[in-house]
Amino acid sequence: MSRITYREAVRSGLCAALREDPLVFLMGEDVGRYGGAYACSKGMLAEFGPERIRDTPLSESTFVGAGIGAALGGMRPIVEVMTVNFSLLALDQILNTAATLRHMSGGQFSVPVVIRMATGGGRQLAAQHSHSLEGWYAHIPGIKVVAPATVTDARYMLPLALREPDPVVIFEHALLYPMEGELEDVSPETMFKATVRRRGRDVTLVTYGGSLWKSLQAADELAGRGIEVEVIDLRSLRPLDLEPVLASLKQTHRAVIVDEGWRTGSLAAEISAQIMERGFYDLDAPVARVCSAEVPIPYAKQMEDAALPSVKQILSTIEELVHHE
């Protein structure tokens, strides 16, 4: 195993994909000469040239649409959207075109496009750059939605996504890019399945993306208080793989969901509903949720911290649930 940053893992996955398949290319804002908004494509223009590392205008609907067209034409485009908030400008292309063409053509056309975008708050970039809208995309049939939380997943999810015949949207939490971790040897075929990141007997904690590390920190602190938390990383948000969650509930009988999206109409709400539908009789207490405050994410540091899920919130939520009578 080698220790690298999440950013380096993303770049390694991108480079490997371009080297292995001449049909793969990367396009997006500042991916070329600038090296990417998060430095994930730094140096790639020099290696692969402007035909395969394509800088685009500041027009998400245009370059996402171009990526869809290239996929229909037999290419394997990777489209980078700078931040999830800006992806809403391309939501028409993703929802009404990429996600629907296979169905509307009776299976005659597939759209093998991979769309990467940064998500999440915590960087004092205010409301237009800090939201977590993964749940909106997970609502859409016709696409896969994944959220790599570790350097290993960041490295290997992309090549796996490129094998898919239909659109895949990859959400990379912006706070993870400088994070270091061990790059492990794994079977890529398991990448789109939920996995247990920490074993425990008292509470099942379900999360994904940037919230995984807050959840693991909380679990470590609770272990010192005699509460063992089982932490499950969803990895795939559409389709949801809840089998490990339901299996865990048979032992813990309590569930907490940590989701940086807003609570109302959230991915956490969908997971909670499915737990109720499929695992109700294993529950000894109501499912609890830790989500972002129902406000646009603030700019001021102390307000942003208060609006986002925190380790302190996770701790208090789990302790209350364990002591619930």
- As annotated, the active-site residues are 60, 129
What is the distance between the alpha carbons of residues 259 and 263, in angstroms, rounded to a whole number? Answer: 8
Backbone angles phi, psi at 6, to 5 degrees: -60, -40
Q: Quick check: 191 and 9 in contact, CB under 8 A?
A: no
What is the distance between the alpha carbons of residues 275 and 314, in angstroms, rounded to a whole number? Answer: 19
DSSP secondary structure of 248-261: HHHHH--EEEEEEE
3-class state of residue 117 by DSSP: strand
Q: Quick check: 299 and 322 in contact, CB under 8 A?
A: no
* Spatial CA neighbour of 6 closest among 119, 216, 162, 172: 172
What is the distance between the alpha carbons of residues 312 and 315, in angstroms, rounded to a whole number? Answer: 5
What is the distance between the alpha carbons of residues 84 and 159, in angstroms, rounded to a whole number? Answer: 21
Exposed/middle/buried for 108, CB within 10 Å: 0-12, 13-18, 19+? exposed
